[in-house]
Chain A
Amino acid sequence: MNNVLTILFVQKKMNLRDIDGLITNTYMFAVITAIVMIGIAILVASMIQFQSGANPKDRMKRKIWFWILAVLTPVIFFVYNSFLVLPNIKAGPAMNKFSLHSGLSPVIAFVLFVVFGILVSKLFKRKKVGNWFNKVN
């Protein structure tokens, strides 16, 4: 918990000693971000109403929004890392050690978002989220 607070309300720059904890927290944040973004994706999917007619666009809209949020997930996480975390790490070995994870964690967030998306979509295939991985016909 202290480490979380450290990242959010950091006053002084972190050195090599703090990096291990920061890495763990970064991956935890990646998981949390993926979960939050999936929550948003579910909300967006539910808000898109079923359309009638010969060419309903709702299924495609849900798919598009899913992938928009999928792309936004690593971007948001990368921006967060870049503007809130990296400036608080001392240049040198600490920065060197963290930079790999700084690049990897958004990818992890993205992968997790997609994996969660597939799981939710298959689990609730009768709901609107079921459209995320349905073939659009």
Chain B
Amino acid sequence: MSKEKKCFIIGIGGTGMRCLETFTHMCAMGLYDGMEFNVLTLDTDFTNGNKNRTENLIKDYNNIKKTSDSKNGTANNDSFFSAKINLFEFVTDYNANGRKRFSELTNLKSDNDDFSDSKMLAELFLSEDVQNFDLSHGYRAQTHLGSYLMYHAITDLAKRLKAGVDIKDGEKQFEEFLNLLYNAKEDARIFVFGSIFGGTGASSIPVIPKALNDALDIYGDGKMSIDKGAKFGATLLSEYFKFKKPADSQKSNRDNAIIADSSFFTLNSQAALQFYQSDPTVKKTYQKMYHIGWPIDAIDYSKGKNEKETITGGAAQKNQCHITEFMCGCAAWDFFHSERFLSETESVYLYKSVRFEDNILNFSKDDFIGDGKNGELFGKKFGNFVAFMHLVLTKNEGALGHDGVNLLLKRIGEVTDIYSALDQKYTSLLTKYFRSFGYTIDNGVFVPGWLYQIKNSVPGKLVLDSTAYTTVPKELKKLDAGELFTEKELHWKSKFMGGSYDPFISTLKDEDTLPSSNKNQNANVTHEKFIAHIYNSINASINN
């Protein structure tokens, strides 16, 4: 086996999208140094809020990285935004006429024989309501239907790709993804993000390796397949959120006769885990499965929203991020960085526990990608990126609408013109990225981004001192980006009475922090150098 891994990530359904959001932020933190990922977003609903939020985030990430030679930039080391992400989208479009329900998709409707094999088989497994609900908002926790339809959607597209007719632009992305997967051969590492208690993710995780393999087989006319040496990993994410119970009035029409009910999510998780424990196909396909659970009350996504009806999907489904999704991102980190258990012939189930005491769940730097060196790495990358965020949003008022990155750039501009090619379009894009990572203040109202959403889901400490996550304007004004950790040895050099901002800017203007002094960073173009420069300055600011 060659040494170079070819990394693939598939995010499925709403939870899978939020896991991808976490993954993207982990790439921005620099936790996936020097790596390149082919990311496929897989959903049934192209209007889904979480899907669009994630895809826009990845597009912003790629615009931050793009160079004249490559639309997604290149992989860097020892820097922020160091991984390269190639985004591919696939939507099993159920919005078009004749594709909205199971009965339409399968042509059962036009089958006049009530006792045909197809009809009888469908009725054996699927109730009438299940056969007729609107699929455009996903599989609505009907995993028996979802697995079938997802497999069908993927193989159906493969047939059309092979025939080369009626191919939409978006579908060509899937073709490209398939080809990359095939060309990766035994070096392919495929990780799947999704939940096991809901609809789309839960339906797809079991079938996706087989569906992709069969799609390649169809597309390649029997000559293509996923290499036997390729490795699959996935998250087994059990229930951690709930939402408004659907009212009977909402379920009264055919489209909504089936709506996922979060009160069954625990039961769904239990059933799914039993399935994963015993299904020979899944156990043979996946080398590593990461079991991620939430021991505390599920977060209520409907709380404070005054929803008249249960949100089944669409643009309105834009749920907050949760620490369990961060754990999924860390599971992916382990999968791509560790060779442990990859040679097993049967799935290995992995888990890691965090101490829960007196209703407090504290997360230290050692609770994410491991302790020892990994814990140090996580603490450094996470802490430094949060500090960068505070430098941009808090110290330089990026959260208030100013271009915080540009203000930092101007500081460097006082001593060198090497970054003069960076225009305001670039700096405002980077500031925008930090707003989605951290927070914004809109008309005096604090709007949490990814980090604050994650923190809101943790009833305890999240790596940094609680002051690092303050939302109080007065405290934000006084916040010192160099004192985010409780541990004093991780603080930045500071001045008596003056805090760490002044020494940081001095370091930023120092020649030693220029990326050219660290060739390993592979920072070749201006914006890569600028980001590496900030990364170096933050590192050089730390006391020890």
Contact = CB atoms under 8 A, between A and B. Distances in A.
A134 interface: yes
A93 to B, nearest CB: 53
Given A49-B498, A126-B509, A54 B413 contact: no
B505 A54 contact: no
B502 A50 contact: yes
Contacts of B498: 49
Interface string A106-137: 00000000000000000001111011001001
A50 B506 contact: yes
B396 interface: yes
B505 A53 contact: no
B415 A125 contact: yes
Contact of A53 (B397, B495, B510, B511): B397
Nearest to B394: A52
A130 B410 CA distance: 14
Contacts of A137: 410, 413
Interface in A32-86: 49-50, 52-54, 56, 59
Given A49-B495, A50-B505, A130 B407 contact: no
A52 B506 contact: no
B411 A50 contact: yes
A132 to B, nearest CB: 11
Interface residues of A, number: 15
Nearest to A49: B502
B interface SS class? helix
A52 B414 contact: no
A49 B480 CA distance: 14
A52 B407 CA distance: 8
A interface SS class? loop
A126 B396 contact: no
A54 B402 contact: yes
Given A49-B495, A53-B395, A54-B396, A131 B501 contact: no
B415 A126 contact: yes
Contacts of B415: 125-126, 130
A49 B395 CA distance: 14
Contact of A134 (B402, B414, B495, B506): B414
Contacts of B397: 52-54
Interface string B489-533: 000000100100110011001110000000000000000000000
Contacts of B509: 126-127, 130
Interface in B405-435: 407, 410-411, 413-415
Contacts of B402: 53-54
Contacts of A49: 495, 498, 501-502
Interface in B28-56: none
A52 B413 contact: no
Tell me which of A54, A128, A134 has the highest count of chain B C-beta atoms within 10 A of its own C-beta.
A54
A54 B501 contact: no
B495 A52 contact: no
B407 A54 contact: yes
A52 B411 CA distance: 10
A52 B396 contact: yes
Contacts of B396: 52-54
A59 B414 CA distance: 10
Nearest to A125: B415
A126 B414 CA distance: 8
Contacts of A50: 411, 501-502, 505-506
Interface of B: 391, 395-397, 402, 407, 410-411, 413-415, 495, 498, 501-502, 505-506, 509-511
**9 shortest interchain CB distances as A-B pairs:** A52-B395, A50-B505, A49-B502, A54-B402, A126-B415, A126-B509, A50-B502, A49-B498, A54-B397
17 contacts: A49-B495, A49-B498, A49-B502, A50-B411, A52-B395, A52-B501, A53-B396, A54-B396, A56-B407, A125-B415, A126-B510, A127-B506, A130-B414, A130-B415, A130-B509, A134-B414, A137-B413
Given A52-B396, A52-B407, 13 more contacts: A49-B495, A50-B501, A50-B506, A52-B391, A53-B396, A53-B402, A53-B407, A56-B407, A125-B414, A126-B511, A127-B509, A130-B509, A131-B414
